[in-house]
Amino acid sequence: MKRRTLFTSLAGTLLTGFTLGRGSEAQDKAEKQSQFIDVTLGKQFDLSMDSSPIDVTEEWRKSGLGRGKSNPEHREMISPIHLNWGVLTISRGKRLTGSIDADLRFVKDVDYWVSIAVFDDEKRLLGVAVHHEPLELNGGFIEKNGKGFTFDFGVSAAYESTRLVAVAISDRRDLETSCNLQMK
């Protein structure tokens, strides 16, 4: 898939969450996680956002981490990505970049996309940047705290008016569904 097409589809997916009405509990959760966050360029902003949880019951039982769970219906659910905080900076050349501090839990081989959209005071979209994070399991449960994700939005004078951001973590189930649809 071409890079421009990927960015356009990710931006469209991110913006769709802002325009949908309230409905199911899943929509409410997605809406909560896609709210606008006030930002000041050059200053840290809080995120406290988790990726959708995945079932790691079988992996935990195989590795011995699930010992003591006598109930066979007990499920182990883990959110592999937790976003802590972020910061956006703009250079003299009007290039907007960002970084996000994250905690990662490597529990399964899973690919995630973290997207950031920036807006002005009027909630007009100024730009979108994405970060791809493949989580690969290497023989057990691994936790890495304080991992930095970087984002490059490109160059635009409009970025100086950035006042709001929306952050989204791809839902693994959505990725599987779209991949299956494309293969048919």
Residue 119 lies in a domain: yes
Residue 28 lies in a domain: no
Residue 17 lies in a domain: no
Q: Domains in the chain: how many in total?
A: 1
In this structure, the strands spanning 164-169 and 110-119 are: antiparallel
Residue 46 lies in a domain: yes
Res 16: pLDDT: 46
Residue 123 lies in a domain: yes
Residue 106 lies in a domain: yes
- Among all chains, which residue has been given the structure tokens 């039982």? 61
Domain range for 98 = 36-183
Residue 15 lies in a domain: no
CA-based nearest residue to 138, from 170, 164, 114, 104? 104
Residue 159 CB-half CA count within 13 A: 23
CA-based nearest residue to 36, from 150, 95, 121? 121
Res 141: pLDDT: 57
Q: Which residues of the chain have pLDDT under 50?
A: 1, 5-9, 13, 15-23, 29-30, 33, 70, 174-184
Residue 87 lies in a domain: yes
CA dihedral 128→133→134→137, nearest 10 degrees, is: -150
Contacts of 105 by beta carbon, 8 Å cutoff, 6+ apart: 78, 79, 80, 81, 82, 135, 141, 142, 143
Res 25: pLDDT: 55
Res 45: pLDDT: 96
In this structure, the strands spanning 44-50 and 77-78 are: unpaired
Question: Contact, 96 vs 159, CB < 8 A?
Answer: yes
Q: Backbone dihedral region of 44: left (phi > 0), alpha (psi from -120 to 50 degrees) or beta?
A: beta
What are 149's two structure tokens?
Answer: 């994700």
What are 46's two structure tokens?
Answer: 């809080």
Q: What DSSP string runs through 143-155? A: EEEEEEEEEEEEE
